Structure 1
Amino acid sequence: MRLIFRWLLRIATGLILLIVAGIALVYFLASQSRPDYNREVSVAGLTAPVEIVRDNANVPHIFGQSDADVYFGLGFAHAQDRLWQMTVMRRTVQGRLSEVFGDRTVGIDRLLRRLDLYRAAQLSVEVQDEETMVALRAYAAGVNARLTQINEESLGRGAPEMFLFPTPMAPWHPADSIAMIKLMALQLSGHLEEEVLRARTSLMLDDPDRLLDILPDVPGTGIAALPEYSGLFPGLPRYASGTRPAADPVSPVPERGLAGASNAWAADPTRSASGGTLLANDPHLGFSAPSTWYLARLELSAGGVIGGTIPGVPAIMTGRSDYLGWGITSSYVDDQDLYIEQLNPDDPEQYLTPDGYKPFENRPSIIQIKNAAPITLTLRWTENGPVLPGSLYNLGTITPPGHVASLAWTALSPNDTTMSAAIALMSAKTVAQAIEAGERYIAPAQNLTLADRETVAMQTVGAIPRRDARHQSQGRMPSQGWRPENRWQGRMPYQTNPSFLSPTGGLLGNTNNKTVDRPFPNHVSHSWGDTQRVNRWERLMQSRQVHTRDSFIEVQLDPVSFTARSLLPLIGADLWFTGEAAPEGTPERQRQIALSLLADWNGEMNEHLPEPLIYAAWLRALQQRLIKDELGPLADEFKHVDPLFIERVFRDVDGASVWCDVSQSAPVESCTDMARLALDDALVWIAETHGTALESLRWGDAHQATHDHPILGKVPVLRYFVNIRQSTSGGDNTLQRGRTSGEDPAPFQNVHGAGFRGVYDFADPDSSVFVISTGQSGHFLSRHYDDQAQLWRRGEYIPMSLDTDLARAASVGVTTLIPQ
């Protein structure tokens, strides 16, 4: 027995030593790829030395003797910190993820190959101006210099992920940078899904008048009546249901409601306490670790610029110089149209056009798949655009037999000069020069909020399609691709894009709200991203005669929900303080406690309070009860509460209260009945997931920001090292926006919000501040992987200074690049 014990002890000790040695080896190999920021590197492609000074937040300040050398330095810095992220993004837009990840990403590759964004990026290289080509070539050379250094010095393949997914890293090219912007356009585009959903919902509803309840128009001038989708394509089944596969974290195709958002506002000197202009910007994207954003300062010949870059792109996308600040918000320009193309019944390789049947433009494409046989696709294009798979957003459910769907989209342009616009913007010194540079923007369309030392403005940049006034669906639903009146007729003149210069009140801003009210076809969009946050923004802006940098920060971080304040009195009107006293532990008592808490609540979506969770769960349960019987399985597509829908129903706008009656039941249910039943549903769900002690609930426990690694975030053990989770305030409709997932079992996880925040004061530009949601490094063993995450969560910022001495003080290292 003693002998057996000794051998078991020896085996256990050996196993422990092996595990420790294995962990040590893995740590050693992974740590080899952590960049050394404090060294001198000899590289090819430079004309003179470049200094990359990393301040104490690891923000690189890049100095060179020419603009080309500075762009080279940015490429080198991006590759030092975000090489894996750049690799995955490039493979995504090329449709080559499956070479690394196998079957898991075949669907993503199929779609990206069909969209052919990378080919459009390659063709767009030829239309960039010379200044932009200098930037693109130099940036690519900087990235490639880092790749050479990794290979020559055996620096752990450049990133820990490269050990788990070994694959050669191809040299960077100018087209790769243009493709990054096109990939962002895909992430910010939601009109395609809205068109499909509107068509599917139209088919499901027995009463076509109810379509504007569940998919309401933003208040304003009415929109002309549209045809029923079943009338456009009579052969479709009346009820077009369908299911969608679970979204992959690496997919660039946004879920509905997650196609981009943002806040930006500005004040001219008359509304600024300091006497200078003010600008704040916080663009919203899906959270990830590392963040989409990377902070950098470039010392160009036109002056220093500092702000948020996107790894892979040699430009400050949102930031400031000494003369000008610029911020971006999603403009919701309707820049996508879906077409149903009729196939030739005698030759399915032809489709109908206004001039008769024509052959598709075909091109074969081979998808290589790790550990599986390759797949050959036939990419097909019509005159309107690429043919899309029926699986995308359940397109197949609204496509009649003998037809296919195609997409017209501005981002597919092979003459895309958006990169040239971004480069030119960094050299602009006035609002007027920035607006002029914006003419070259194609996609994604954005609202550009601008402030120089005297003037503030907002300009919509990006191509707006010109449509015929006779368009069948006004671009709101898929239309017949063979009819000439449905086809695009070029681009609207840039001078007609919405523009707001030097507003009378001295304040302007955008929370993705409706900016103009123009009748079709001169409209900007039928679908807007915000109907709620703008109300709170207006109140906070007008509550002060003058603003400061700190008051702009306060507005960025404001967690009060206008939506909660307006909807709760409406849906609870007949429930407050009614009914008999109920015994402890009964559903009636829980309902009374919940209503009592909500009655005293001011609408602040604070992470430490219970009321936001009760409110959010109630509204979610209420919308599901209202729509489930009419929409069936399609109700699952409506994952986020639409405040306009709830308001229409409870105010009985145009008979919308009919949604409260359950069509399959004999009694006629009232909206009060629905509100009470939904509250009970919410309390049952809360009890099962968070406990029965309502006063002890914390919104932050449910509303955790999920900065997850898109590849390793679900790997056991590893996920604890690579994911960043934080309890957060805010919600779907607050200025401190934390868009919830809407997905069970954690529907209130915070998955989409401000990955970058910046506030600029041009009375004292170096007092400006910014922060990102994770950290500068993409290496999870680096202390800079998440060092800004807690600052971001607490609403704190880091200095945004162009002072060279301040950057050098307490720097974490200086990398000097020496020409070979």
Structure 2
Amino acid sequence: MRKTTFTTRLPLQCTTLLLLLCHLPTVHAATDKAVSKTQIEVKGLKQAAEIVVDQWGVPHIYAKSEDDVFLAQGFNAARDRLFQIDLWRRRGLGQLSEVFGQAYLEQDRAARLFLYRGDMKKEWAAYGKQSQRLTQQFVTGINAYVHYLNQHPEQLPPEFKALNYRPALWQAEDVVKIRSHGLTRNLTSEVNRAKMACAGDLALDEVRQRLSPTWQTKLPEGLDPCLPDEVLRQFTLATQNVPFSAAITPIAKLSAEAEENRLAKLEINDSDKMEGSNNWVISPGKSATGRAMMANDPHRAYSAPSLRYITHLSAPGLDVIGAGEPALPGISIGHNGSIAFGLTIMSIDQEDLYVYDIQPDKPQNYRYQGKWVEMQKRTEVFKLNSGATMESDLFFTRHGPVIYFDTKKNKAYAVRTGWLEPGMAPYFGSVDYMRAKNFTEFKKAMLHWGAPTENQVYADTKGNIGWVPGGLTPIRPNWDGLLPVPGDGRYEWAGFLSGDKLPSSYNPEKGWFASANELNLPEDYPYRERKIGFEWPHNARYQRIADVLSQDKKVSLEDSMRLQNDILSLPAERLIRLLTAIPEASLLNQEQAKRAIQILSAWDRQENADSAAAALYQYWYSQSLGPQYKDLMLGQKSYLVTTLPDLTSMLKNLEAQDAFPPQFGDSVDQAKHRRDQLLITSLVSAYQQLEKRLGAQTQQWRWGDLQKTLFAHPFSPLLDSKGKAQYDVGPLPRGGSANSVNQSSYRLQDFVQINGPSFRVVVDVGNWDNSKAMNAPGQSGDPANPHYRDLATPWAKGEYFPLLYSRKAVEAAAKQIIELRPISRK
């Protein structure tokens, strides 16, 4: 057995890919043929169960006990999404190199730094008394399907054949030990803010991220803000997806500049980054149905298959339907026949980077409270696909895993994060709240919710609606969590904020409640003392939702579906108002500027895929105005911000009447002139670039010719064009933007949409069969299955399908019935 520090990565050898390309499945459209029936004997099942798959690919699972329904859920998740969940497990547990080779050792090592390693009794207890049992049943079901494939190898998903490995068997602990798949908070932001402080002006970080509520951070005493370039390398590796490539670049050999460029390609066009979502609940008095209503469209990264999976679980004492992550038992968004629930992210800060002085001759010792303390060492064994094994030492301080040693400066860096505490497995806490029957039970379950930090909306059959945020919230007595801090004992968490210290709402007078990740703390909330978080996305999506729901009319299900697909841009309205207010004298001899302003001023601000004005506006904002504004504000320090500038801050400064930032000039007149010139020159530049890209005929420009949605399969980079056509879904022309309700965040370099609402649901509370849903590109993870891509086009059109709940309605829409039987004794 060898020990290594994993400083090199080798190319992935994928010679068996040719097997896949020679036997690509043919994708067939769904037909109206009669219901197909299959019987399968399932190891571990106590009594017969049934999976009824409706015409949209939703499995409705019926069993005679909870034990059997969760076993059947695991079996079905493997049946439909085995490669996806197997890859999720291997990535999270740090077992990629076991099947893909030494190229993945560094990512494996990074993943193991962030596994939960605490008391498993406390872990299971945090989710409720039934959590361990149902998880054991769930993984027993997954394993039963793996055993089934051993007997029917011809049904092995093609990805396993192509990559030449077999799916693994699961343990219940695997589900909750993996923490690195959740949405992380502000660790990256801390490091970016430290870069600005290192460059000499911490206040300029507002260009990157405006702090809200009103707050001014300061450099923690004793902190050297000049951090190593690769300080977050291990954290990034631990939380990223699996990078498949025919020839993976050895990351250890990348220069700091190359690594920065690599990460910059992942950035999108707003400070929202890879998080978002909308939800709202409507009271019966505001609802056109006379019943409560719940709507939710979480925004996550796009892939094929999709991140979420719709499932219906029905057994005595439990009848829930909705979406969850396919590798987890239960559901997290949907209803249980009594209440409906939906989530968005709330910006509670759960992460901190600690900086330590280490002993020069003993770098495993760090200074804490005036003494040298030895780090905890854990030796991990990694299996390779060659059959060999390798070892590596992981180190931990009292705060968490050590992610970087800087022996030149005698510093070490570790991460403390709430999501390594007991009960913090991302989304798993839903196994408790999905059973609630009223607001009291729901709120009690949410008091213990850990991660990710969320706004949960609630509606029930009695007409009650509510809002309950949840998330483990560190108490920082003497700092705000916005910058790294010395790990010498002066900056310690003083426990966690009790869940009932977060705000909530029950039956608000206005008859509705909504959240869209915006700053939603009440005006009288004591945020200066509790300091739960100061980094919130722009509020444009919420403002548009509020504008619609506040209208003096009752809201129908159709209204909610239209609102989820709404593509009106409120930031565009504000920026165009500035353009049209520019004095005519400033536009002399600016014919292209006049034409561009004419196009935008005549626009209805709807970012339709076929809109020429939307193409011009988004190109102007993301490719020209944003970068030029950033250069104006930061000058030679502009390179420190790799994203577009914070939209809230930029709009505030551009709209200033007499309080422009000093970068705009010494007087108000000078500032207004420089502002106007920035708008004009950036608009002309965008107009000229679009002429080259889309042609001189502006009426033929289309936003959808730029922005495309691509649901890419994980190993798409390994495939030729024929293979991509089988495994990828898209590209599809796409409307909307990062700040429309129908959210669409795209990569700056090619306008490919990388996250947004692939799953949507609108629940008619009490008339359950009248609820609507969508899950793009489809329910199945098998490219040969019609349900792999059948929902992509309807999704792009803003369409929905019925989220059926009653047994009668489900059976009427059934296309496939899978009868699960206990293994017969012979």
Category of TM-score, reference length = shorter chain: 0.7 to 0.9
Distance in structure 1 (CA, Å) of the matches to 2:601 and 2:468: 42
What is the aligned partner in structure 2 of residue 114 from structure 1? Answer: 113
Distance in structure 1 (CA, Å) of the matches to 2:319 and 2:115: 36
Distance in structure 2 (CA, Å) of the matches to 1:236 and 1:438: 37
| Structure 2 letter corresponding to 1:232 | L
**2:444 aligned with 1:431:** no
TM-score, normalising length: structure 2: 0.86
Q: Secondary structure at the match of 2:817?
A: strand
Q: How does 1:197-208 map to 2 (within 5 A)?
A: 197-204=192-199, 206-208=200-202
Give how far 1:727 is off.
1.1
Q: Secondary structure at the match of 1:282?
A: strand
Distance in structure 1 (CA, Å) of the matches to 2:91 and 2:428: 23
**1:778-817 deviations in whole A, cap 9, x for unaligned?**
1112111011111111111111121112212242211011
Confirm or deny: 8 A CA contact 2:279 2:457 kept in the other structure: yes
Confirm or deny: 8 A CA contact 1:90 1:179 kept in the other structure: no
**2:66 aligned with 1:63:** no
Confirm or deny: 8 A CA contact 1:54 1:813 kept in the other structure: yes
What is the aligned partner in structure 1 of residue 734 from structure 2? Answer: 728
Give how far 1:651 is off.
3.4
Distance in structure 1 (CA, Å) of the matches to 2:430 and 2:343: 12
Distance in structure 2 (CA, Å) of the matches to 1:571 and 1:714: 46
Q: Secondary structure at the match of 2:181?
A: helix
**2:578 aligned with 1:563:** no
Distance in structure 2 (CA, Å) of the matches to 1:289 and 1:250: 20
Classify 1:668/1:599 alpha carbon distance in 2 versus 1 (closer, same or farther; 3 Å).
Answer: closer
Give how far 1:247 is off.
5.9
Give how far 1:173 is off.
1.6
Confirm or deny: 8 A CA contact 2:616 2:687 kept in the other structure: yes
Classify 1:291/1:355 alpha carbon distance in 2 versus 1 (closer, same or farther; 3 Å).
Answer: same
Give how far 1:280 is off.
0.3
Classify 1:276/1:235 alpha carbon distance in 2 versus 1 (closer, same or farther; 3 Å).
Answer: closer
Q: Select 2:160's aligned residue among 152, 159, 162.
A: 162
Classify 1:721/1:296 alpha carbon distance in 2 versus 1 (closer, same or farther; 3 Å).
Answer: same
What is the aligned partner in structure 1 of residue 620 from structure 2? Answer: 618
What is the aligned partner in structure 2 of residue 606 from structure 1? Answer: 608
**1:132-163 deviations in whole A, cap 9, x for unaligned?**
22211111111111111111122342x11111
What is the aligned partner in structure 2 of residue 7 from structure 1? Answer: none
| Structure 2 letter corresponding to 1:539 | D
Classify 1:40/1:235 alpha carbon distance in 2 versus 1 (closer, same or farther; 3 Å).
Answer: closer
**1:520-539 deviations in whole A, cap 9, x for unaligned?**
34132111133221111111
Give how far 1:373 is off.
8.4
What is the aligned partner in structure 2 of residue 595 from structure 1? Answer: 597
Give how far 1:38 is off.
2.7
What is the aligned partner in structure 2 of residue 18 from structure 1? Answer: none
| Structure 2 letter corresponding to 1:164 | A
Give how far 1:403 is off.
1.2
Give how far 1:564 is off.
0.7
Confirm or deny: 8 A CA contact 1:577 1:592 kept in the other structure: no
**1:478-501 deviations in whole A, cap 9, x for unaligned?**
1111133x2111111111122111
Distance in structure 2 (CA, Å) of the matches to 1:753 and 1:24: 31
**2:146 aligned with 1:147:** yes
**2:79 aligned with 1:80:** yes
What is the aligned partner in structure 2 of residue 95 from structure 1? Answer: 94
**1:626-681 deviations in whole A, cap 9, x for unaligned?**
3237365763744335322322332348965444579xxxx998122222221232
Give how far 1:385 is off.
1.1
Distance in structure 1 (CA, Å) of the matches to 2:518 and 2:672: 37
What is the aligned partner in structure 1 of residue 513 from structure 2? Answer: 508
Classify 1:268/1:555 alpha carbon distance in 2 versus 1 (closer, same or farther; 3 Å).
Answer: same
Q: How does 1:438-457 map to 2 (within 5 A)?
A: 438-453=446-461, 454-457=463-466
**1:413-438 deviations in whole A, cap 9, x for unaligned?**
14547777322222211122111111
Classify 1:427/1:209 alpha carbon distance in 2 versus 1 (closer, same or farther; 3 Å).
Answer: closer
Give how far 1:251 is off.
10
Q: Secondary structure at the match of 1:670?
A: helix
What is the aligned partner in structure 1 of residue 238 from structure 2? Answer: none
What is the aligned partner in structure 2 of residue 627 from structure 1? Answer: 630
| Structure 1 letter corresponding to 2:741 | L
What is the aligned partner in structure 2 of residue 38 from structure 1? Answer: 37
Classify 1:162/1:299 alpha carbon distance in 2 versus 1 (closer, same or farther; 3 Å).
Answer: same
Q: How does 1:472-491 map to 2 (within 5 A)?
A: 474-484=480-490, 486-491=491-496
What is the aligned partner in structure 2 of residue 770 from structure 1? Answer: 773
Classify 1:126/1:276 alpha carbon distance in 2 versus 1 (closer, same or farther; 3 Å).
Answer: closer
Deviates more, 1:543-552 or 1:320-329: 543-552
Classify 1:30/1:686 alpha carbon distance in 2 versus 1 (closer, same or farther; 3 Å).
Answer: closer
Distance in structure 2 (CA, Å) of the matches to 1:611 and 1:503: 39
| Structure 1 letter corresponding to 2:550 | Q
Classify 1:631/1:140 alpha carbon distance in 2 versus 1 (closer, same or farther; 3 Å).
Answer: farther
Give how far 1:450 is off.
0.7
What is the aligned partner in structure 1 of residue 552 from structure 2? Answer: 544
What is the aligned partner in structure 1 of residue 211 from structure 2? Answer: 217
Deviates more, 1:717-726 or 1:667-676: 667-676
**2:187 aligned with 1:184:** no
Q: Select 1:227's aligned residue among 184, 206, 218.
A: 218
Q: Select 1:347's aligned residue among 329, 353, 362.
A: 362
**1:697-717 deviations in whole A, cap 9, x for unaligned?**
111111111211122255212
Classify 1:596/1:384 alpha carbon distance in 2 versus 1 (closer, same or farther; 3 Å).
Answer: same
| Structure 1 letter corresponding to 2:186 | H
What is the aligned partner in structure 2 of residue 12 from structure 1? Answer: none
Q: Secondary structure at the match of 1:358?
A: strand
Gaps of 5+ in 1: 1-20, 391-395, 583-587
Distance in structure 2 (CA, Å) of the matches to 1:89 and 1:172: 12
Distance in structure 1 (CA, Å) of the matches to 2:277 and 2:90: 27
Confirm or deny: 8 A CA contact 1:184 1:444 kept in the other structure: no
Q: Secondary structure at the match of 1:58?
A: coil
Instruction: Considering Cα pairs closer than 8 Å and 6+ residues apart, tell me whether 1 or 2 has the greater RCO.
Output: 2
TM-score, normalising length: structure 1: 0.86
Distance in structure 1 (CA, Å) of the matches to 2:122 and 2:91: 18
| Structure 1 letter corresponding to 2:376 | E
Confirm or deny: 8 A CA contact 2:314 2:320 kept in the other structure: yes
**1:69-94 deviations in whole A, cap 9, x for unaligned?**
11111111110110000011111111
Give how far 1:120 is off.
8.2
Distance in structure 2 (CA, Å) of the matches to 1:250 and 1:62: 41
Q: How many residues of Structure 1 are paired with residues of Structure 2 in the alignment?
A: 763
Give how far 1:117 is off.
4.3
Give how far 1:350 is off.
0.6
**1:381-421 deviations in whole A, cap 9, x for unaligned?**
1111111247xxxxx8xx99221221111111145477773
**1:431-479 deviations in whole A, cap 9, x for unaligned?**
22111111232222211111112211111112111111x22xx100111
| Structure 2 letter corresponding to 1:558 | D
Classify 1:578/1:252 alpha carbon distance in 2 versus 1 (closer, same or farther; 3 Å).
Answer: closer
Q: Select 1:330's aligned residue among 345, 349, 354.
A: 345
What is the aligned partner in structure 2 of residue 386 from structure 1? Answer: 401
Confirm or deny: 8 A CA contact 1:127 1:417 kept in the other structure: no
Q: Secondary structure at the match of 1:520?
A: helix
Distance in structure 2 (CA, Å) of the matches to 1:705 and 1:563: 22
Classify 1:612/1:22 alpha carbon distance in 2 versus 1 (closer, same or farther; 3 Å).
Answer: same
Q: CA RMSD in A?
A: 3.3
| Structure 2 letter corresponding to 1:502 | N
**2:750 aligned with 1:750:** no
Distance in structure 2 (CA, Å) of the matches to 1:813 and 1:518: 54
Classify 1:351/1:714 alpha carbon distance in 2 versus 1 (closer, same or farther; 3 Å).
Answer: same
Q: Secondary structure at the match of 1:564?
A: helix
Classify 1:367/1:685 alpha carbon distance in 2 versus 1 (closer, same or farther; 3 Å).
Answer: farther
**2:319 aligned with 1:314:** no
Distance in structure 2 (CA, Å) of the matches to 1:463 and 1:673: 47
Gaps of 5+ in 2: 1-17, 29-34, 232-255
**1:362-396 deviations in whole A, cap 9, x for unaligned?**
11224455579876432111111111247xxxxx8
What is the aligned partner in structure 1 of residue 47 from structure 2? Answer: 48
Q: Select 1:740's aligned residue among 719, 736, 746.
A: 746
Q: Secondary structure at the match of 1:270?
A: coil
Confirm or deny: 8 A CA contact 2:267 2:642 kept in the other structure: no
